[in-house]
Amino acid sequence: MKPKKKIPKTFISFLLASILIWLLITLSKEYTTTISFPIKYGEISQNKLLLANQTKELEIVVKTNGFKILRTRFNTKSLLIN
């Protein structure tokens, strides 16, 4: 039987620190991307008519840093259109 090689704790801690620094540098850059938001229709007046093929999603092109894009991807709220 071969003895198992143990990975030192310092190597793992430096590896995690370098991944964290890389992630911070990558997300701080500015990106241009398309984000789609689901649409909900509400409080439509009686004299208005909705068509059968109404839009279900609204696509928006944004130019911002990676932190805000990541936050939007996880916390997407639907848009209410009156």
Residue 13: inside a domain, yes or no? no
Residue 50: predicted pLDDT: 66
Please tell me the pTM assigned to this model. Answer: 0.60
Residue 44: inside a domain, yes or no? yes
Residue 52: inside a domain, yes or no? yes
Residue 9: inside a domain, yes or no? no
Residue 6: inside a domain, yes or no? no
Which carries the bigger pLDDT value, residue 6 or residue 61? 61
Which carries the bigger pLDDT value, residue 13 or residue 77? 13
Residue 25: predicted pLDDT: 95
Contact criterion met (CB below 8 Å) for 46 and 65: no
Residue 1: predicted pLDDT: 60
Q: Over the stretch 8-65, which tens digit does the pLDDT of each residue have?
A: 889 999 999 999 999 999 999 999 999 888 888 777 777 766 666 777 888 989 999 9
Residue 12: inside a domain, yes or no? no
Domain limits for position 65: 30-81
In this structure, what token pair is assigned to residue 29? 């850059």
Tally of structural domains, the chain: 1
Residue 70: inside a domain, yes or no? yes
Q: Is the pLDDT of residue 2 over 80?
A: no
The residues, ordered by sequence, that sit 6+ positions from 42 with a Cβ below 8 Å of its Cβ are: 80, 81, 82
